[in-house]
A = this chain, B = another copy of it.
Amino acid sequence: IASQSMEGRRVSLKEIAEEIDSPVAFTAKILQQLSKNQIVDSVKGATGGFEIQRSSIDRIKLSEIVYAIDGDNVYMACGLGLEKCNASKPCPVHNKFVQIREDLRDMLENTSLYEMTVGLEVGLTYLKR
């Protein structure tokens, strides 16, 4: 969507699903989540589809996309799966996991949608299931 939006083209659900080899109905659900969370703009009706404002492409970080789809689970869930695990009652791997997750958070917050889009366009990365 970002790639096409940068060239002023709005893309339909069908086109998106086809491009990434993903079931249409399933892709639709994910796009709805992204739309609700204002990652992408959706336009209903004939000639409708999905697009992203150029300013958003520059601004949006991977962290925001992750949050739109998975919430803050990535940052909060215990490495051993314990429900009660937290800083004051840490599980045996808690503190070591906190460290790794900080690395992950840094990465997500410093990876922009623009950067990923460029990678796809120059053929450096791929996006097929």
Q: Which residues of A contact B (CB under 8 A)?
A: 62, 80-85, 89-94, 96, 99-100, 103-104, 107, 111, 116, 119-120, 124-129
Contact = CB atoms under 8 A, between A and B. Distances in A.
Contact of A100 (B62, B82, B104, B125): B104
A89 B126 CA distance: 6
How many subunits of this chain does the assembly comprise? 2
A107 B99 contact: yes
Given A82-B127, A82-B129, A92 B120 contact: yes
B126 A111 contact: no
Specify the main secondary structure of chain A where it touches its partner.
Answer: loop
A90 B129 contact: no
A52 to B, nearest CB: 15
Contacts of A128: 82, 84
Contacts of A80: 127
Give the 6 A-B CB pairs with smallest separation, nearest first: A92-B116, A92-B125, A89-B126, A96-B107, A103-B103, A100-B104
